[in-house]
Amino acid sequence: MATETAVDVVMPQMGVSVSEGTITRWLKQEGEQIEADEPLLEISTDKVDTEVPSPASGTLTQILVQEGETVAVGTKLGQIGGAAGAPAPEPAAAPEASAEEAAPEPVAAAEEAPAPPAPAPAAPAPAPVASGNGKAFVSPVVARIASEHGVDPSQVPGTGQGGRVTKKDILAFVEGGGAAAAPAAPAAPAPAAPAPAAPAPAAPVAAPVAPGETLPGESLEPITAMRRGIAEHMRRSLDTSAHVTSAIEVDFSRIVATREKLKKEYQSAYGVNPTYLAFIAAATVETLRDYPYVNAEMRGDSIVTRNFVNLGIAVELAEGKGLIVPVIRNAEGLNLLGLARGIADIAAKARNKQLVPDDVQGGTFTITNPGGYGTFHGTPVISQPQSAILGTYALVKRPWVITDESGNDAIAIKPMMNITLTYDHRLVDGAYAGRFLRDLRERLEGWDGDGE
Amino acid sequence: MAIAREAEPVGSFSEVREAGLDREDLLGVYRNMLITRGVEERGHILYRQGKIPGSFYTGRGNEAAAVGVATAMGPDDVGTPLHRDMGVHITRGVEPWRIFANYMGRVDGPARGRDGNVHMADEQLGMIAMVSHLPAMLPVAVGCALAFRIREEPHVAVGWFGEGASARGDAHESMTLAGTRRLPMVFVCDNNQFAYSTPTQYEYATEHVADRAQAYGFEGVVVDGTDVLAVYREAKRAIEKARSGGGPTLIECLTLRMEGHAVHDDAFYVPKQMFEKWAESDPIERFRTWLRDNAQLTDEEEDDIAASVKKLLLTAMERAEESPQPDPSTLLEGVYATPEDLDTPHHK
Amino acid sequence: MAELTYLQAISDGLRTEMRRDKRVFLIGEDVGVYGGAFKVSLGFQEEFGPWRVIDAPLAETAIVGGATGAAIMGLRPVAEMQFADFISCAWDHLVTIAAKQRWRAGTPVPIVVRLPSGGGFSGGPFHSQNPESSFAHIPGLKCVCPATPEDAKGLLISAIEDPNPVLYFEHKHLYRRIKAEVPEERYTTPIGKARIHQEGSDISVITWGAMVYTAEEAAQQLDADGVSVEIVDLRTVMPWDKAAVLESARKTSKVLVLHEDTRTGGFGAEIAATISEEAFEDLDAPVKRIAAPDTPVPFSPVLEKAFIPQVDDVVAGLRELAAY
């Protein structure tokens, strides 16, 4: 088998457990001719000493491993035919070459070593929690269900060992619409402004569709920056405050009458409307004086109370464009007229996009009117970092029970308005809120002429 | 004290004819022995050239025993040859290129790269692939004989084992089952006098392995394993006896293992004189001489046969080199058999 | 339909196949004249003759190895080990040749090895073992463990049909204790498919063989506690019905693996590891195993009772899981 193409001479494996061999003698020199099967070199292994026959006929063009060298089975020892080797890098065996190039060596070694396959990690528990039983321990299936449904396991009552949440517990929780045992946390936020009331997000959908995908009948629209901002604010507010809402029904008879009286005068003399909102604002600001926590803020470890009220009024921007809450500074110093003016002023600025950042910052209490569309109740979201928000609703004629001086009851038709106070239960308690609303009602129901 | 019968050597050509072989057959036997040795010599070289992985075993010195027995088998007889019995595979018709491919772990070897050495067999040719454990194939061969007996078919099973393997329980159990049931079985002991480095006196305490046959209820015979015709004659007798319902026979073929246990073993423990003595009795050389003396083998015939064998082996090597390496992605295939696998001549 | 004991069902299956297919034959110690140590083949030699019901010498390697040879030649041998424990005498042949011949040499080995296994009657260390796990570990072998008479017949027929070596573990303690309706006609039960022995929603018990009945009794007690237990009868240990086991595990999220074989390296370990690997996020409790302790099988009834998982042990394990 004379050949011009190169044929490798390799170290054979002389026995199953043999991993290396030593060249004891080359029987030919580089450049010499040799026939196939003719003994070419002698080797020694720990099993046997033997001759290695040439794998081909031709010229021994390269000797790569010298006598006395020990190399691994399969190592190229030399070459028959082909091009004569460049002055062979002294023993082609790795040891010396790499000794000269200390730096690249690790790289070469890394290339040669089979890249350790990235071990496919077992799917980690979605919510790694401290070990041990007890409420802190979340089992893999509970973690998975929790993450699929956006539920916080710590909110779920646990019946398992040590009070841990079991699969049954969390499934029951999810099926129950997430009605939590957690105290007073309403599940459904509404926008804090006369924006169209968003429907309360239902208990999360069982099998979430992947982002970007739609089911038949669905269509996608991208989220605007404003929407994103609102979403963020709402979420953050609900996550921060312990929202609770109390409501009270107010008889607006006096206000209605007073307003009738004042309308013409205000228009002609001052160019403003004495809106119901203005009356409410006036009564509210007065009441806030007696209930500072409703006009307060949690700052770190402290509660901040004030001797001023920067009253925010929620304003809906042009249909669907969102809402904004400009602020009337130092409302505590304003009377009905001043508040009516203030409200008209910021409303106009808002509509005409003339609000500046100062206009919307620094509020300490907010009034919102979701009732513009006839709704009689709601649970607005507190505007952080405030501690409460007042919601006003549609003024509706209702049959109402009145008692005369003799103690006789009769039904009369009254203009009624439901008013809500949504407060942060971290610093405002239910009784406190209740008393605030009672006082507010008294002021509104007992409105006397111009002032109170 | 020996119990087994000692076989007579075969003298004349007419004796051979009586035993069932004509001149054509004899030249075929000679050729098969040459191919057997040629395959193993070439394989040995390939191994030392690093082209064959693992270990390499030869049956150098056992060519007559292997070819002799195989020549006496009928086409539907089955056998479980071992690593000294390359001559059985050659005689039964396995092509040398596939043997080289098997040595090199290529896809076209009968074992498709999944087993090496001579752990291979072509089932179509009536052989079953051996394992390393010895004599583990004997119970299997006896099982084949059992099947023939159950189905009352005139076929015979031949099982090979070495004198070392005769020490193990499988041999005893196989002979017990074969003997008590008078199964159509021939036990062939390749006694090459060394089991790796262990000489015969540590493998059996009788004079011959064949002496044990009597203990199992059948005949044992010792034959000169370097005399292909003597082996053939005894094998033929035993096979035909089994075929006609006469039960098993144990034939012990005496040779010397002329190379190490595997080629990585230089057999330093074999006294040099033994090698020298048995080299004089080289089976191929013996038969060549006999053919010249008794069958008028001519120079021309000799040269023709040698040339054709050389050519066969050369093309076999080339063809084997082209056989692909096995594909690792197929590793998991075939752990379990499917019903389609039962489509063999024996399952019809 | 006929009501048969587990043992009668095995006989029925074997007889059905031997009548239907001449290639099927039985070989083992005392199977012929004596009808088998447990009388599974009573009357068989009279019907099928001495060359189809073969009294073998006391030589397990020759029995199983001979079966392999005969199978390679086209017959369908059913080799019987008198006790499963004696399979160790043929272990070499089974794992060296029978298991590997298909993969490495392309030669199928369609044999069945019947193995009367299991304890519960003071059989002692060598007449009571459940050796399925070591064979399940060897690629190329199949291991079936029927629990019901119906499955016993169907699985034996399937085993004979299967072109692979199938180890058929027949639980001795079920032979005459369990009786049920068995279809009279020939039918096969799929190898590799589990069966839901009873449905439940709170805990899955994965088990096979005689333990199916232990699990059943234990589940009744849990039922009274208001805990619903599902029992998966694997039926085949190799290849095992991973899909069915995982489905049950995902459904209940609490799993008990129960087997009569000893604990360490018992096949339950493979099942438990697989569940942890592939159903981790569906688990509400660690996968629990109940098995015999790591000792040989004791002889004295008192000791044997402490060895073989009892109904009370399973009840305790189930209650623990339920409360987790």
- The secondary structure of residue B86, as a DSSP letter, is H
Cβ distance A161 to C253 less than 8 Å, yes or no, reads no
Query: Does the beta carbon of A49 lie under 8 angstroms from any beta carbon of chain B?
Result: yes
Angstrom distance (rounded) from CA B43 to CA B268: 22
| Three-class SS state of A289 | helix
Q: At what angle do helices A430-445 and A253-265 cross, to 10 degrees?
A: 50
Tens-digit pLDDT profile for residues B266-308: 888 899 999 999 999 999 999 999 999 999 999 999 999 999 9
Q: Say yes or no to pLDDT of A133 above 60.
A: no
- Tokens representing B65 are 């025993």
Mean pLDDT of chain C: 96
Query: Does the beta carbon of C49 lie under 8 angstroms from any beta carbon of chain B?
Result: no
Mean pLDDT of chain A: 80
Radius of gyration of chain B (CA): 20
- Tokens representing B109 are 């070897």
More confident residue, B232 or A265: B232
Q: At what angle do helices B96-103 and B23-48 cross, to 10 degrees?
A: 20
Closest by CA to C87, choosing from C50, C133, C25, C51, is C133
Angstrom distance (rounded) from CA A323 to CA A233: 12
Choose the closest CB to C281 out of A140, A160, A166. A140
**Could you tell me what percent of chain A has a pLDDT over 70?**
79
Which chain C residues are within 8 Å of A134, Cβ to Cβ? Answer: none
Tens-digit pLDDT profile for residues B188-241: 999 999 998 888 998 999 999 999 999 999 999 999 999 999 999 999 999 999
- Which of A117-131, A333-347, B75-89, C21-35 is least confident? A117-131
Element (H, E) at A80: strand A76-80
pLDDT at A196: 39
Query: Does the beta carbon of A306 lie under 8 angstroms from any beta carbon of chain C?
Result: no
Measured in angstroms, the CA of B286 and the nearest CA of chain A are apart by 26
Residue B297, φ and ψ in degrees, nearest 5: -65, 125
Model confidence band, residue A409 (pLDDT cutoffs 50, 70, 90): very high
Which residues neighbour A138 within 8 Å (Cβ) at sequence distance 6 or greater? Answer: A125, A127, A129, A146, A153, A164, A165
Biggest CA-to-CA distance, chain B: 58
Cβ distance B176 to C65 less than 8 Å, yes or no, reads no
Model confidence band, residue A111 (pLDDT cutoffs 50, 70, 90): very low
Query: Chains that contact C by 3+ CB pairs under 8 Å?
Result: A, B
Task: Report the amino acid identity of residue A141.
Answer: V
Q: Do the Cβ atoms of C183 and C16 come closer than 8 Å?
A: no
Closest by CA to B72, choosing from B240, B288, B274, is B240
- Tokens representing C40 are 């599974």
- Interface probe with B: pick from A24, A50, A80, most Cβ of B within 10 Å: A50
- Tokens representing C235 are 């039926």
Place of tokens 């409501």: A247
Q: Say yes or no to pLDDT of A118 above 70.
A: no
**Could you tell me what percent of chain B has a pLDDT over 90?**
78
Highest mean pLDDT pick, A41-55, A218-232, A412-426, B193-207? A412-426
Closest by CA to B145, choosing from B80, B84, B93, B83, is B80
Q: What is the dihedral of CA B143, C239, B334, B148, to 10 degrees?
A: 20
Tens-digit pLDDT profile for residues C72-107: 999 999 999 999 999 999 999 999 999 999 999 999
- Tokens representing A75 are 């190592």
Cα B149 from chain centre:
24
Q: What is the mean pLDDT of the segment spanning A276-299?
A: 95
| Ordered strands of the C288-292 beta sheet | C195-198, C229-233, C203-207, C255-262, C288-292
Which chain A residues are within 8 Å of C284, Cβ to Cβ? Answer: 139-142, 166-167
Which chain B residues are within 8 Å of A21, Cβ to Cβ? Answer: none
Place of tokens 């197929």: B330
pLDDT at A321: 67
| Three-class SS state of B278 | helix
- Tokens representing A195 are 């924006």
Beta strands per DSSP E along chain C: 2-5, 24-28, 53-55, 76-80, 112-117, 142-144, 166-171, 179-182, 195-198, 203-207, 229-233, 236-238, 255-262, 288-292
Q: Look at the pTM and tell me if it is higher than 0.80.
A: no
Model confidence band, residue A73 (pLDDT cutoffs 50, 70, 90): confident
Angstrom distance (rounded) from CA C98 to CA C71: 10
Prior bond to B135 cis, omega within 30?
Answer: yes
Q: Say yes or no to pLDDT of B181 above 60.
A: yes
Model confidence band, residue A161 (pLDDT cutoffs 50, 70, 90): confident
Model confidence band, residue B130 (pLDDT cutoffs 50, 70, 90): very high
Angstrom distance (rounded) from CA B339 to CA C161: 9
Cβ distance B128 to C106 less than 8 Å, yes or no, reads no
Angstrom distance (rounded) from CA A442 to CA A284: 11
C-alpha neighbours within 13 Å on the C-beta side of residue B178: 38
- Which of A175-179, B35-39, B178-182, B199-203 is least confident? A175-179
* Residue-wise DSSP of A179-241: --SSTT--S--B-SSSSPPPPPPPSPPSSPPPTT---TT----PPPHHHHHHHHHHHHHHHHS
Q: Say yes or no to pLDDT of A286 above 90.
A: yes
Cα B181 from chain centre:
25
Q: Say yes or no to pLDDT of A179 above 70.
A: no
Q: Do the Cβ atoms of A410 and A368 come closer than 8 Å?
A: no
CA dist list (Å): A171 to A430, B209, C275: 32, 76, 22
Query: Which residue on chain B is closest to A17 by alpha carbon?
Result: B54
Q: Say yes or no to pLDDT of A85 above 80.
A: no
Helices (H), chain B: 13-19, 23-48, 63-72, 86-92, 96-103, 137-151, 169-181, 213-216, 228-243, 272-279, 283-294, 299-322
Tens-digit pLDDT profile for residues B106-124: 999 999 888 888 899 888 8
**Could you tell me what percent of chain C has a pLDDT over 90?**
93
Model confidence band, residue A359 (pLDDT cutoffs 50, 70, 90): confident
Model confidence band, residue A19 (pLDDT cutoffs 50, 70, 90): confident
Return the bridge partners of A365, or none: A311
Return the bridge partners of A416, or none: A251, A396
Cα B56 from chain centre:
16
pLDDT at A449: 60
Which chain A residues are within 8 Å of C323, Cβ to Cβ? Answer: 160-161
* Residue-wise DSSP of A310-340: -EEE-EE-STTS-EE--EETTGGG--HHHHH
Catalytic residue positions of A, numbered: 425, 429
Tens-digit pLDDT profile for residues B11-55: 889 999 988 999 999 999 999 999 999 999 999 999 999 888 888
Angstrom distance (rounded) from CA C227 to CA C209: 23
pLDDT at A141: 94
Which chain B residues are within 8 Å of A18, Cβ to Cβ? Answer: 264
Angstrom distance (rounded) from CA C42 to CA C34: 7
Tens-digit pLDDT profile for residues A360-390: 889 999 999 988 888 999 999 999 899 999 9
pLDDT at A450: 53
Which chain C residues are within 8 Å of A141, Cβ to Cβ? Answer: 253, 281-284
Q: Do the Cβ atoms of C258 and C292 come closer than 8 Å?
A: no
In 10 A of CB B221, how many CB atoms? 20
Pairing of strands A76-80, A58-63: antiparallel
Model confidence band, residue A351 (pLDDT cutoffs 50, 70, 90): confident
Measured in angstroms, the CA of B305 and the nearest CA of chain C are apart by 33
Which residues neighbour B296 within 8 Å (Cβ) at sequence distance 6 or greater? Answer: none
Q: What is the mean pLDDT of the segment spanning A262-284?
A: 92
Catalytic residue positions of C, numbered: 127
Q: What is the mean pLDDT of the segment spanning B315-327?
A: 93
Angstrom distance (rounded) from CA C141 to CA C100: 9
For chain B, counts of helices (H) and of strands (E): 12, 8
Query: Which residue on chain B is closest to A9 by alpha carbon?
Result: B49
Query: Does the beta carbon of C97 lie under 8 angstroms from any beta carbon of chain B?
Result: yes
CA dist list (Å): A36 to B44, B336, C287: 14, 44, 65
Query: Which residue on chain C is closest to A158 by alpha carbon?
Result: C324
Q: Say yes or no to pLDDT of A131 above 50.
A: no
Model confidence band, residue A58 (pLDDT cutoffs 50, 70, 90): very high
Angstrom distance (rounded) from CA C18 to CA C25: 7
Q: Say yes or no to pLDDT of A270 above 60.
A: yes
Cβ distance B54 to A16 less than 8 Å, yes or no, reads yes
**Could you tell me what percent of chain C has a pLDDT over 70?**
100
Q: What is the mean pLDDT of the segment spanning A260-272?
A: 89
Query: Which residue on chain C is closest to A142 by alpha carbon?
Result: C284
